[in-house]
Structures are given as C-alpha cells and as structure tokens.
Amino acid sequence: MRAQLPDGTPRVLCYTDTMAQSFFLMGRSHLTALWYAWHNQTEAGGPPASPYAHAPLMRAGMKAIFLQLESGRYEPLFEPDGRFHAAVAQSIAEAKAEVYVSVLGGNDHSMIGLVAHRPAFDFVLPEAPDLPLDDGAQLLPAGLLEDELSRRIAPHVAALAQLQGCAPGRVVHMESPPPLPEAHIRRHPVPFADDIAALGVAPALLRYKLWRLHSGLYRAACARLGIAFLPSPPVMRDESGMMHPSGCHPDATHGNALYGGHVLKALLEFAA
C-alpha cells in the first residue's frame, strides 16, 4: 500500500498481520475533527474534495469507536472513588480495541493565553530558551506558568492514568492542535469573542510558547504512565509553528477535518 511523505514523495508501507485494526478514541471537542476525517466527511457533512491524509493507510475491516465525553451520559467523568463513570468504563471494556486513543484536554494553554493580557506577560520557554522575548511585557517564571497549567490539566492526566489502568490494548495520547493564526481567530473568535473585542489576541509567539509548555507537561505525564505520546502533524504547521490556515476549524482553537486526517495518519502509522 502506498502513502506519501509530507513533500509528496510516495513510499511503500509494509503491513504485517499484527497491524492494529480496531481503535477506541476518547475525548471532547478535539475529537470531532478526527471523527469527521475517519468518516470521510467535512464538517459541512459532505465528502472532502480529495481523500484525507490517512485514507491511503486504511484497510478493509478497520473500525473505530469514538467516545464523545461531552455527552451528558458520561458526566461526571469520575465516580466518588476516583474511577471512571460506569458508562465510560463499560464503553472501554466493551470496545475490545487494540489501540486506545486519548484526545483528552488540549485547550488549557488557550484558556490562559489566547486573549491578550493587561499588563502583557512573557516567559522563557525552557525547551527553546533562545526564542525572542517581548521587551514591553512582564517576564514571568516558566515554573509559575507550568504550575498553573499542571493544575488545569490534572483531571485530564488523571483520566489518562485511568485509561492506562483499564484499557486492554495499547494506549496513546494525541498532542493538541497548535495555536491558530491571529487572522483566523479574529474572523472566528468564538468562544472568546467578548474578551477579544475588549483586549485583543495575545501575540503569536506567546501562544506558541504556552502550547509547547502545555505539550511538555502531557509528554512528561505520558512518560510517567508508560503511554505513547504522538505529536501534532508537522505538515499542518506553518513556518512559525502555528496551525496552517488550511487546518483551522471556524473557531479560535480547533483543527478541522483536514487536520484530523493528518492526525489519523500519524495514528495509523503508529499502529502499523
């Protein structure tokens, strides 16, 4: 079966009988792009103009179960004893999938950094300390922002630990989409429209740094839990690391089905 590298070069992927055929994907809003791509649909409900990136990797008989946690059926996510809601645990057990995919969380960096702050702030990103700083902004310790993000993502990390403990197959966590370009956010400011109208959009570099800090916390959590961490598709980022305009959903934080197709491509290659 043939696939393409990001530059369009064809390559042959050799599948074995051990390649995963069944997937269980669990998450909230970021799950939607993957659902549309898996079902070969645009968000408008029609077929894409061309096959999504994962299509060459699909095999007959592959199946995917999508558990959308925003359904009221699964709230609250945790029982008083800390275990998953009974309906979530039942769905995981009944899926009998080979790969269990977390699309949990993913927007906490946007919650603290998408809208411009007054006064403005900046920080040194530990993984890339040479990135420029905003001379007019208050310099905050990266550890302070890590602590705040750690607090915010704690429920998602707890869900990851629960998934790893009860899933009978391999578990993988998908990195959240990169920040969207400012021009797109200004055209589609929901759900931050009122705050953006009052304060504006935070600088792109700050939003990129916060996303990297956020992803680093998830990567570390996955390493502690023995869970694979799959980065967002590099082909869907522009030269500054932001989401390529073609991958933006018509809101301020999400990828679209085209982006979802590239995420599924990474997943299927991981499962090969």
164-219 pLDDT tens trace = 999 999 999 999 999 999 999 999 999 999 999 999 999 999 999 999 999 999 99
Angle at 234 between CA 216 and CA 148, to 5 degrees: 25
Q: How many CB atoms lie within 10 A of CB 243?
A: 24
The answer for residues whose C-beta is within 8 angstroms of residue 272's C-beta and 6 or more apart is: 13, 15, 16, 19, 20, 57
Residues 180/248, Cβ–Cβ less than 8 Å? yes
Angle at 149 between CA 144 and CA 155, to 5 degrees: 140
Tell me the pLDDT tens digit for each residue of 213-223: 999 999 999 99
Q: What is the largest CA-CA distance in the chain?
A: 58
User: φ and ψ at 142, to 5 degrees?
Assistant: -60, -35
Strand 228-230: give its sheet, edge to edge: 63-68, 22-27, 99-103, 170-174, 228-230
Mean pLDDT along residues 227-235:
98
Tell me the pLDDT tens digit for each residue of 104-134: 999 999 999 999 999 999 999 999 999 999 9
Q: For the chain, what is the mean pLDDT?
A: 93
Band (11; pLDDT cuts 50, 70, 90): very low
- Please state, in angstroms and rounded to a whole number, the distance separating the CA atoms of residues 127 and 212: 8
Band (18; pLDDT cuts 50, 70, 90): low
Residue 72: pLDDT over 90: no
- Please state, in angstroms and rounded to a whole number, the distance separating the CA atoms of residues 238 and 234: 8
Mean pLDDT along residues 242-270:
98
**Burial tier of 119 (Cβ tally within 10 Å: 0-12, 13-18, 19+):** exposed
Q: How many CB atoms lie within 10 A of CB 92?
A: 22
Q: In order of start, what are the domains of the chain with their CATH numbers? A: 2-271 (3.40.50.1110)
Query: Which residues on neighbouring strands pair with residue 237, listed in sequence order?
Result: 243
User: φ and ψ at 190, to 5 degrees?
Assistant: -60, 135
What tokens appear for 220 in the block?
């570390």
